[in-house]
Amino acid sequence: MQYFMQLLISGLAIGAIYGLIAMGFAVIYKSTGLVNFAQGEMTMITAYIAWTISTTVSGNVFVVALGAILAAVVLGLIIERVVMRPMLGEPVFATVMVTIGLAVILRSSINFIWDAYPHGLDVGFGRSIVRIGPIGVRTGQIAVIVTLLVLLAVIWAFFRYSKIGVAMRAVAADDRTALLMGISATRVHALAWAASSVIAGIGGVFFALSYDLSPAMFQLGLKAFPATILGGLDAVLGSGLGGLLIGITENLAGGYIGSGMKEVAGFAMIIVVLMVRPFGIFGERDIERV
């Protein structure tokens, strides 16, 4: 039982990180209709910038957090303006391939700007262990679960009540009508990229806090795919919850079946889920009329 609880807690913690990145996917999909294959790489770059701030400027938690968020916003805006906006109006396949190209470039640039060795992000927080009953949990793990839950609530309220949130939903539903109603699609896209970069970046920084920073971190993006597919590509909240589910499944499979299963449990799960519900658990069904 204790083993099970231990697996469950660490599954929730890693699942919360997947969930954050998956929400990044969903925010972009919801407002632009694209899957951003460079999400994992953007996450990795934000985490590396956070590490650079912590080693060069100050190791204070708030300085690092603020710096990382600002960096993520700038990264998202630059990518949207330079790479994605010229592709506006092109077919989805072409635009998605552009994000794949972008992913390859960002991934290789890590080795040029930083190096290929693993680093620990140390902000004097996150690595100490708290005991809840018989189970030891790292403070960073608790923090990431709490952050995910808070962000889920904030984003739900944002899409439900704020004017910008409603505008984003309008662009997602029908960009032409939204344009006619006076919503600037480009501004909504820019905002979506910035928001997605920040949400996923937070996940990346937490990953660096609890584990280590390395050029293999882009694989987080691949791991978050099952999460967002499970929740539904257009369901932001569903993607967050999907992340938790994938994290738990992965850890339980790794703990009880074998370490090889841990790597692919998420992927195996989405193949099964997609057979039953091709649009994810919380995704909206796409109805075609002829």
Partner 1 sequence: MRTGDFKQTYGELVTLVDSPPVWLWSALLVAGLIVAPFVLNSYVLSFLIIILITVVGALGLNILTGYTGLISLGHVGFLVTGAYAYAILVSKYQMHPLVGFLGAGLVPALASLIVGAPSLRLKGLYLAITTLAFSFIINTVILEARWLTNGARGISVQRPEIFGISFDSDAAFTYLCLGFAVLTLFATLNIRRSRVGRAFVAIRDNDTAARVMGINLHAYKLFAFVTSAFITGLAGALYGIYLSFVSVEGFPFLLSIEALAILIVGGLGSALGAVLGTILIVLLPEATRLVFSLFSAQIDAVFTTGAQELKSMLYGLVIILFLRFQPRGLVGAWHDLRRMWVNWPLRY
User: Quick one: which H or E segment has residue 136?
Assistant: strand 135-138
Q: Considering beta carbons, is residue 126 or 221 the nearer one to partner 1? A: 221
By CB under 8 A, tell whether 79 contacts partner 1: no
By CB under 8 A, tell whether 222 contacts partner 1: yes
Number of Cβ within 10 Å of residue 170's Cβ equals 18
* Residue range at the interface with partner 1 (CB under 8 A); choices 43-51, 99-107, 147-155, 171-179: 99-107
What letter would DSSP give residue 133? T
Q: How far is the CB of 218 from partner 1 (least distance, A)?
A: 11
Q: How far is the CB of 263 from partner 1 (least distance, A)?
A: 6
d(CA 191, CA 117): 33
Q: How far is the CB of 143 from partner 1 (least distance, A)?
A: 29
Q: Considering beta carbons, is residue 18 or 206 the nearer one to partner 1? A: 18
Q: Are 43 and 200 in contact (CB under 8 A)?
A: yes
Q: Considering beta carbons, is residue 211 or 279 the nearer one to partner 1? A: 279
Q: Considering beta carbons, is residue 113 or 157 the nearer one to partner 1? A: 113
What letter would DSSP give residue 229? H
Residue 53 CA, chain-centre distance (Å), reads: 21
Q: What is the dihedral of CA 43, 94, 238, 42, to 10 degrees?
A: 0
Select the residue interacting with partner 1 from 205, 225, 250, 282 (CB under 8 A).
225
By CB under 8 A, tell whether 194 contacts partner 1: no
d(CA 36, CA 169): 18
Q: Considering beta carbons, is residue 88 or 173 the nearer one to partner 1? A: 88
> How many residues bind partner 1, per CB under 8 A?
44
Q: Are 81 and 200 in contact (CB under 8 A)?
A: no
Compute the 3-state secondary structure of the chain and give helix, strand, coil in percent, each to the nearest 5. 75, 5, 20
Amino acid present at 284: E
By CB under 8 A, tell whether 93 contacts partner 1: yes
Q: Would you give the binding string for partner 1 spanning residues 39-78, x where CB under 8 A is met?
A: ----------------------------------------
By CB under 8 A, tell whether 94 contacts partner 1: yes
Q: In a 10 Å sphere around its CB, with 0-12 CB exposed, 13-18 middle and 19+ buried, how is residue 165 labelled?
A: middle
Where do contacts with partner 1 occur on this chain (CB under 8 A)? 35, 83, 86-87, 90, 92-98, 100-105, 107-109, 111-112, 222, 225-226, 229, 233, 258, 260-261, 263-264, 267-268, 270-271, 274-275, 278-279, 286, 288, 290
